[in-house]
Structure 1
Amino acid sequence: MIYTVTFNPALDYIVRLDAFTAGAINRVNYEQVLGGGKGINVSIVLGNMGIKSTALGFLAGFTGEEIKRQLEGFGVAHDFVHLESGFSRINVKIKANRETEINGQGPDIPAAKRDELFKKLDRLKENDTLVLAGSIPKTLPDDIYERIMERVDGRGIRIVVDAEKKLLLNVLTYHPFLIKPNNHELGDMFGVVLKSDEELLAHAKKLQKKGARNVLISMAGDGALFLGEDGTTYKSPAPKGRLVNSVGAGDSMVAGFLTGFEESGGDYRRAFFQGVATGSASAFSEDLATRPEVEALLKTIL
């Protein structure tokens, strides 16, 4: 079973305008409300691909209930910790001549509720996969990723980490199965600007030396690179298509990789290319990737 953890879920209020002017009344020509958060996005796309998962994390208030309702509509199983006060955050995504985001804070998470999540994670079994993705609310300890990985260490659980610089670097000692930095994040980890595939792979190898097993590097319109624990490397250009919505594309890549890995019995090549196709399918759509969209794109890059 695959489990995803989203520490700070959100309702994404997505609007489109011909142009956005600060300090003025702006009228939208398109709007949509989607339950989101990186782990939740992974679970939704896994479900679209026919792979079962369980979404974990924290929910609160009327927004939390809507996130749960939407997940149930997608057929995604969930086992959230429910908070008695506050509400799950609302993020506003403004898409006009430029993209602007306004992200909410999220509710307070007491220590007792954090421990409740830990107890849920204690139920994971050997060969399960745990996806840790996204930011940490200010009321959780900065080392929450490390605490979780230490707790499940040695139990044969594959862990996928999709997080920013410090969060990612601090967990490498626990040998995550897969990490997914983008090309800019990878350079930022080492204080350099990486311009070539050779430089990207060289620094991916440095992350492997620190403990990562497999490194998937997303490069937006330039495609992706993969460095496997067996030394294999793969590269793919981005499939052809029109960028519609970048929100969730990276999460979709993770979901696609896990789908390919599960369905192929552990073939990294298949997992990589399925990941690229799935990330692109979400980027080319108003919604998250569906199986037919992914299959069509996959044929163009394999």
Structure 2
Amino acid sequence: MIYTVTFNPSLDYIVRVPNLAEGATNRSEGQALYPGGKGINVSIMLSNLGYASKALGFSAGFTGREIERLLAENGCDAEFIPLHRGNSRINIKIKSGEETEINGQGPHIPSEALEALFQRLDACGPEDILVLAGSIPNSLPTDIYEQIMRRLRDRKTRIVVDATGDLLKNALKYHPFLVKPNAAELEELCGIRCDTMDKIKQGAIRIQQDGALNVLVSLGKDGALLIDRHGQFHTSPAPSGILVNSVGSGDSMVAGFLAGYLKEQDYAAAFRMGIAAGSATAFQEWLATKDQVLKAYQELQPL
């Protein structure tokens, strides 16, 4: 089983405004509502690709109920811990030339709710994959990723970490199965300028030396780079297309990598499916369908 954890899920309210004017009444020309959060995106993309997962997290109020409803609508099995105060957050994304985002605050997560999550994670075993993705709300300990990885260390669960800064850096000593920084995050972790492929490779090697088994670096329109646990490098440009929305692209890459790996047990195949899924999502308004991912896969240059 694949488990994903989203500590601060959201309803993402997308609003399109032709010419946003501050201090005035603006009328939208279109809007959409999606479930948001990196782990949630991974679960939905896995579902799109035909792989079951269990989405874990916390749910509060009417917004939390809507997030769960939308997950079910998209074929995802969600087991959120109910919170009895507050509401799950709403993130507003205003598209008007440039994109403006207003991200809400999540509800307070009490210690007993966190313990309930820990108990659910105790079901993880060596055949399972756990995806820890995204930021954490202020009400949780800053070392929450480390707590989870330390708790599961003897269970040999394969853990994917898609996070930034100290959340990722401090997780490396627990030897995550996969980490997925982008170039800017790699620079922050390594303290070097990653402006050439050679330097990106150097940064990825350093992250692997610090503990990660597989390091997948997303490079936007330039594709991606993987150094697998055997020390082999895999690189590929992205398929051609028009960028529509980069939100969820990295999460789709993680889901595609896992889907490719589970199908083929091969890192080269996992890498290519990861690039295809990430690119296909970038070319859509929201997360790509299976057919869109397979189309992007076919357009990748042969290795």
- Confirm or deny a common fold (TM above 0.5): yes
Distance 2:289 2:193 in 1: 34
Once the two structures are superposed, residues 125-167 of structure 1 have per-residue CA deviations (whole angstroms, 9 ceiling, x without a partner) of 2210000000000000000000000000021210000001110
**What residue in structure 2 maps to residue 281 of structure 1?**
280
Of residues 280-289 and 37-46 in structure 1, the stretch that sits farther from structure 2 once superposed is 280-289
In 2, distance between residues paired with 1:20 and 1:217? Answer: 34
Show the counterpart of 1:193.
193
Q: What is the rounded CA distance, in whole Å, between the counterparts of 1:172 and 1:154 in structure 2?
A: 16
Alignment of 1:39-58 (within 5 A): 39-58=39-58
Residues 1:237 and 2:246 are matched in the alignment: no
SS at structure 1 position matched to 2:57: strand
- CA distance in 1 between partners of 2:136 and 2:121 (Å): 17
Post-superposition offset of 1:15: 1.3
Partners of 1:253 and 1:62 in 2: how far apart?
Answer: 30
Q: CA offsets, 1:271-301, max 9 Å, x none?
A: 0010011011111111211110011110111
Per-residue deviation, 1:191: 2.7
Distance 2:192 2:23 in 1: 37
**What amino acid maps onto 2:17 in structure 1?**
L
Which one-letter code corresponds to 1:106 in the other structure?
G
Unaligned 5+ runs, structure 1: none
- Give the equivalent residue in structure 2 for 1:293: 292
Please tell me whether residue 132 in structure 1 is matched to residue 132 in structure 2.
Answer: yes
2-structure distance, mates of 1:148, 1:281: 32
For residues 192 and 103 of structure 2, what CA distance do their matches in structure 1 show?
Answer: 28
CA apart distance, 1:194:
1.0
Q: CA deviation at 1:122?
A: 0.4
CA shift, 1:5, in A, is 0.1
What code does the residue aligned with 2:99 have? Answer: E
Deviations 1:40-79 (A, max 9, x none): 0000000000000000011100000000001111111111
Task: Note if 1:77 corresponds to 2:77.
Answer: yes
Secondary structure in 1 matching 2:226: strand
SS of equivalent residue, structure 1 residue 70: helix
| Partner secondary structure for residue 176 of structure 2 | coil
| C-alpha deviation, 1:21, in angstroms | 2.4
Listed as ranges, the gaps of 5+ residues in structure 2 are none
TM-score by length of 1: 0.98
Secondary structure of the corresponding residue to residue 75 of structure 2: coil
Distance 1:197 1:107 in 2: 41
Aligned residue type for 2:116: E
The Cα of 1:20 is off from its aligned counterpart by: 2.0
2:192/2:203 contact within 8 Å kept: no
SS of the aligned residue for 1:46 comes to helix
Give SS of 2:27's match. coil
- Please, which moves more after superposition, 191-200 or 212-221? 191-200
Match of 1:225 in 2: 225
Residue in 1 that maps onto 2:158: 158
Q: How does 1:29-108 map to 2 (within 5 A)?
A: 29-108=29-108
Q: Taking every aligned residue pair, what percent have the same amino acid on both sides?
A: 53
- Residue 44 of structure 1 aligns to which amino acid in structure 2? I
Aligned to 1:272: 271
Which amino acid is the alignment partner of residue 32 of structure 2? Q
Give the partner amino acid of 1:87: N
Distance 1:251 1:144 in 2: 20
Q: Distance in 2 between matches of 1:153 and 1:82?
A: 27
User: 2:162 & 2:21 partners in 1: Cα distance?
Assistant: 33
* 1:62 maps to amino acid: F
Normalising to structure 2: TM-score of the pair?
0.98
| Alpha-carbon offset, residue 17 of structure 1 | 2.1
Quote the offset at 1:245 in angstroms.
1.2
Answer with 119-128 or 143-152: which moved more.
119-128
Structure 1 residue identity aligned to 2:7:
F
Aligned residue runs from structure 1 range 170-185, under 5 A: 170-185=170-185
Q: Which residue of 2 aligns with 1:169?
A: 169
